[in-house]
Structure 1
Amino acid sequence: MSSTVDPFSELKSRQRDMWASFAPTAAFTTPVAAHLVDFAQVKPGETVLDVGTGTGVVAITAARAGASVTGLDLTPALLDVARENAQIARLATVQWFEGDAENLPFPDGQFDVVLSQFGHMFAPRPDVAVAEMRRVLKPDGRVAFATWPPEHFVGRMFAFVGKNSPPPPPGAAPPPQWGSPGTVAERLGDKFEAPFFSRGIMHFPALSLSHYREFAERSMGPMQKLMEASAEEPERLAALRSEFETLAAPYYSANMIRMEYLLTRARAR
């Protein structure tokens, strides 16, 4: 846990606000959560931290597998949904914390497993996030996470948003870099053993490309903010919407958007 001034505090404040509308999208990641928890080999009785828990889909899945689970997220609005989901699932023992992947509010060596599903990848400094995940793990603990590769649809969507938005602060790493196995192995470095990788596909139902775009504009923070920023420029807004649908078209068939993700698992050194 660090007490130094965070140079990315303004960025994180924007992220906290940006993801507040994410709950409807999070529901579609529920099958991925099961894949991640199984891939991580979570066992009954293990202590698990879910970083970037959002609405708690991974945390609750791990708790249903018998683990003792803590979920952490930057965005209070998502944690409210997580608490409600845990109550519905009758899992009152899950603990929820508002917090930052780069400054985890937990003592050294507390957890058997640290998980993250499309969460820690938005921390601007990968080296800091990795160091924090390793710090809170037990000596023989392990990390497992799901990320979006840059070459597939969601990674390309982030690139689309990035090129049409103000640049991030200097030194902030693009989130989809966490979807490249070589980059992941390099970042885990000497803190973890060589990582093991797998892949999966998330299918997102949509009646048409326009339906998917409309949903993204309401419930996917980066898209929502981009379109809001263009609301007073009708021609630019129309061009962005057209470009987005063209980007999504190759991944759309049988009323589904195909979203490929990368899974990583590594044991602490």
Structure 2
Amino acid sequence: MTNDPFSQFKAGQREAWALFSPMATFTTPPAATLVEFAAVRESDKVLDVACGTGVVAVTAALRGANTRGLDLSPVLLEDAAANAATVGLSIEFLEGDAEALPYDDGTFDVVLSQFGHMFAPRPELATAEMLRVLRPGGTIAFSTWPPDLMIGSIFSLLGRYLPGPTNAAPPSQWGDPNIVRQRLGDAVKDVQFQYDDMVMPALSPKHYLAHMERTAGPVIKLVQTLKDEPGRLTQFRAEMELLIARFFSHNRVRQTFLMTRATKC
């Protein structure tokens, strides 16, 4: 966006999330859950916002939907295109911003986002844009992280060590059904919520943390920021391991997520 006050913040997101691709192994099953929850049908025009490696877009396309995807990271879009090509799909993937979608009003039957649009710093803009490009009677559906559970708690911990920019909404707010209802407002009807789990294998909380430090944008950024403060970095890692341990059992970390579905009025 022209004169975007969050342009530097988004540039940092673009850089940090470029290493996310290995995580797609674990986000692939929830992608199918979201597509099923959204009741995507053959021939639907579908947009995957903040699509990352395209797991939602490809899943929807394999059901016969006419799918497009958009993401800030050109590196992840290359992987998305490769995922589509593997199964012979032609999907348009564009580099772009959830706060300024490059599509006409009412273009899509279904607008989806899996753990993506929630990182837009101004939820009112992301919400308005996702609804703008959705036709009346179309479906908006997305997956987010509840603030009091695994990933939402990590967001809170990260925020204590590295606060986000002033006036940027915390991504975990999107995991609160009350806030979601407020943000969607009277532009939608028939709002539905459903919880599910994403399970990640790990030998220990320390192994899980090491994986996050290699692949999860906010964690990567924090570790880079604290590289010259070894005491604080050690403290952060210790707190992270204790948090992870609460959700760790039998070499698995349970990450509960919230799905939202609504119909545009």
Partner residue in 2 for 1:231: 227
Corresponding residue for residue 85 of structure 1: 83
Aligned-partner Cα distance in 1 for 2:201–2:41: 32
Q: Find the residue that maps to 1:143 and give its secondary structure.
A: strand
Asked if the contact 1:48–1:112 (Cα under 8 Å) also holds between the matched residues in 2, the reply is: yes
Q: Deviations over 1:37-72 (max 9, x none)?
A: 000000000000000000000000000011000000
- The separation in 1 between residues aligned to 2:18 and 2:92, in whole angstroms, is 20
What is the deviation of 1:177? 0.2
State the 1:191 CA deviation.
1.1
Say which is worse superposed, 144-153 or 18-27, in terms of deviation: 18-27
Mapped partners of 1:4, 1:80: distance in 2: 25
Q: 2:182 and 2:235 mapped to 1: Cα distance?
A: 38
1:147 aligns with 2:140: no
Taking the aligned partners of 1:95 and 1:183, their CA distance within structure 2 comes to: 32
Q: What TM-score, normalized to structure 1?
A: 0.96
Q: CA deviation at 1:4?
A: 4.8
**How many angstroms apart in 1 are the aligned matches of 2:186 and 2:4?**
25
Q: Tell me by how many angstroms 1:15 deviates.
A: 0.9
CA-CA distance at 1:233 after TM superposition? 2.6
The one-letter code sitting in structure 2 at the alignment partner of 1:88 is T
SS of aligned partner of 1:195:
strand
Spell out, residue by residue over 1:129-172, the C-alpha distance to the aligned partner (whole angstroms, 9 max, x if none): 1111111111111100000010000000011111101x322221
Other-structure match for 2:38: 40
Note the aligned Cα RMSD (angstroms).
Answer: 1.0
Distance in 2 (CA, whole Å) between partners of 1:178 and 1:31 is 21
Q: Secondary structure at the match of 2:257?
A: strand
Q: Which runs of 5+ in 1 are unaligned?
A: none
- Answering whether residue 214 of structure 2 is matched by residue 218 of structure 1, we say yes
Alignment of 1:125-136 (within 5 A): 125-136=122-133
TM-score of the superposed pair, with normalisation by structure 2 = 0.98
Answer whether contact 1:204 1:257 (CA < 8 A) is retained.
Answer: yes
Distance 1:108 1:54 in 2: 23
> 1:175 is matched with which residue: 165, 171, 177?
171
Aligned to 2:238: 242
2:57 to 56, 59, 69: 59
Structure 1: 4+ residue segments shifted above 4 A: none
Which blocks of at least 5 consecutive residues in structure 2 are unaligned? none
Alignment partner of 1:193: what SS? strand
Tell me how far 1:209 sits from its aligned partner: 1.2
Q: What is the rounded CA distance, in whole Å, between the counterparts of 1:172 and 1:194 in structure 2?
A: 28
Q: Give, as a single letter, the amino acid of the residue that structure 2 aligns with 1:248.
A: I
Contact 1:185 1:194 in 2 (8 A): no
Q: Which amino acid aligns with 1:104?
A: L
Shift of 1:216: 0.7
Q: 2:249 aligns with which of 250, 253, 257?
A: 253
Question: Structure 1 pair 233/5, CA: closer, same or farther in 2 (3 Å)?
Answer: closer
1:14 aligns with 2:12: yes
